[in-house]
Amino acid sequence: MSLLVTAHHMLSADGSSLLEGHALLVDGSRIVRVGPETTLSPHAGARLDLGDATVMPGFVDAHTHVSVRPGDGDQHGQLARPTAWLALRGAKNLEAMVASGVTTARIMGEPGGIDLAAKALIDAGDLVGPRLRVAGSALSATHGHGVALGVADGVEGVRAAVRRNVAAGADHVKIFMTGGVSSFTGGLYDHHYGREEVRAVVEEAHRVGRRVAAHAHGGPGVTICAEEGVDSIEHGSLLTDENVDAIVRYGTSLVLTKSIAHHPDGIERGDASNPVVLEKLRAAREADRAAFERVRASGLPYAVGTDGMHGYLGEEIVWLVDQGVPVAEAFGAATWEGARVLQEVPDVGRLHAGYRADVIALGGDAFS
Ligand SMILES: [Zn+2]
């Protein structure tokens, strides 16, 4: 049966403006038509009037995790917990994502196949959560940042890890290229995989139609990833001019994750008692703002992700707007730019006929 969704404001299909007096005609899980309410009313079975709200496409969290909670601190300790503990707690995280308007999420590495199981259970209707695209275990060098999410070394080792993940049902491949804020495995500009290993990952993944995402903050590791055909750079909080040039030249996607580093409920809350992590965090915040200016100056498109800050996708948008980004551009980063990164889900992120009816409503006029 068709449903007519009406509200005072509706985001236009290109995301540039708010339409008044418009409605969505939804049939099953698809948007059938978008247009002035008066023209669609005769076709409607049921009606849902959301009053003084803005109807938007559901958010795409382009980089997150099911189980870990940065604000609880010691992420590596959390990930060392039994799989059952992490998975059961993850159910609440998935609910928080949906409650915050996230309808599609790209999961960037889980231990014990938690993401693979969560995706299957959500698809079967046994678990509440957004539509998931999953990586399975991630690939980290033995001395790298992401060892809690999977270890693979050497050209043959990374090839085997990609094959294992694909066989288990992974939609994409995640590698840890540089150091990270919440670990003690080297600086954020250091990288742990060599060019040959990155090339082997890309070759293995692309041969079977899987895209490759690299955790990479800045420095030579970012440039190597772009040059070797990695599809997306994740975080990018210390991008240099050379890094930005390489990302532009090779058409690499960029996924920014800001609230984990900048929001007081992120790493700051979780690891407030750890001076090494806090020092890294403070330095990263400064450099991050400068890196973001480089991204903006280059005109590079970017998506956003919460990186485990479940329920905080709105804070990613707030951070962007605080840096002077127009609201429409910030919403774009949280909707269709995320959908572009998830190329295998081409019909989300816009209110457009034929797209999936992933529809959310924000109170009032969302542009003001
Ligand atoms: Zn992550």
* pLDDT tens by residue, 307-339: 999 999 999 999 999 999 999 999 999 999 999
Domain with CATH 2.30.40.10 in the chain: 2-58+350-363
> For residue 254, what pLDDT band results from cuts at 50, 70 and 90?
very high
CA 226/CA 248 separation, integer angstroms: 9
Give which of 156, 155, 174 is closest to 165, Cα–Cα: 174
* Dist. CA 43 → ligand 1 center (Å): 44
Average pLDDT over residues 12-31: 94
- For ligand 1, the distance from its centroid to the CA atom of residue 11, given in whole angstroms, is 29
Confidence of residue 186 (pLDDT cuts 50, 70, 90): low
74 pLDDT exceeds 80?
yes
- DSSP assignment string, 248-305: HHHT-EEEE--HHHHSTTSHHHHTTT-HHHHHHHHHHHHHHHHHHHHHHHHT---EE-
pLDDT at 224: 98
> In angstroms, what is the span from residue 309 Cα to ligand 1's centroid?
10
Span from the CA of 234 to the centroid of ligand 1 (angstroms):
8
Q: What is the mean pLDDT of the chain?
A: 94
- Per-residue tokens: 346: 């081409």
pLDDT over 90 (residue 176): yes
Which residues fall within 8 angstroms of residue 174, CB to CB, at 6 or more apart? 108, 109, 135, 138, 139, 146, 149, 212, 213, 214, 215, 234
Half-sphere exposure of 216 (CA within 13 A, CB side): 31
| pLDDT at position 320 | 97
User: Distance between CA atoms of 4 and 25, rounded to whole angstroms?
Assistant: 5
Measure 180 CA to ligand 1 centroid, in angstroms: 10
Residue 76 pLDDT: 87
* Mean pLDDT, rounded, for 100-112: 97
pTM, two decimal places: 0.96
Given CA atoms 50, 355, 335, 299 in this order, what sign does their dihedral have? negative
User: What would the mean pLDDT of 70-94 be, rounded to a whole number?
Assistant: 94
- Of the chain, the percentage scoring pLDDT greater than 90 comes to 85
Q: How far apart are CA 133 and CA 137, in angstroms?
A: 13
User: How far away, in angstroms, is 9 Cα from ligand 1 center?
Assistant: 34
Going 183 to 340 to 91 to 114, the CA torsion angle's sign is: negative
From 65-74, 91-100, 130-139, 272-281, the region with the lowest mean pLDDT: 272-281
Record: fold of 2-58+350-363: Urease, subunit C; domain 1 (2.30.40)
Kindly give the distance from the C-alpha atom of residue 64 to the centroid of ligand 1, in angstroms, as a whole number. 6
Q: How far is the CA of 37 from the centre of ligand 1 (A)?
A: 41
pLDDT, residue 182, reads: 67
Q: pLDDT band at residue 238, thresholds of 50, 70 and 90? A: very high
Helix axes 241-250, 275-298, angle to 10 degrees: 50
Residue 184 has pLDDT above 80, yes or no: no
Closest CA to 175 of 196, 161, 190: 161
Q: Residue 224 C-alpha to ligand 1 middle, in angstroms?
A: 20
Domain(s) labelled CATH 3.20.20.140 in the chain stretch across 59-341
Q: How confident is the model at residue 181 (pLDDT cuts 50, 70, 90)?
A: confident
C-alpha 173 – ligand 1 centre gap (Å) = 13
Q: Which CATH superfamily is domain 59-341 in?
A: Metal-dependent hydrolases (3.20.20.140)
Q: How far is the CA of 308 from the centre of ligand 1 (A)?
A: 7
Q: How far is it, in rounded angstroms, from Cα 137 to Cα 168?
A: 10
Overall residue count recorded for the chain in this entry: 368
Rounded to the nearest whole angstrom, what is the distance from the C-alpha of residue 358 to the centroid of ligand 1? 24
- The predicted pLDDT at position 241 comes to 96
SS3 for 190? coil
| Separation of CA 298 and ligand 1 centre (Å) | 24
Model confidence at 102, in pLDDT bands (50, 70, 90)? very high
Is the model's pLDDT at 9 over the cut of 90?
yes
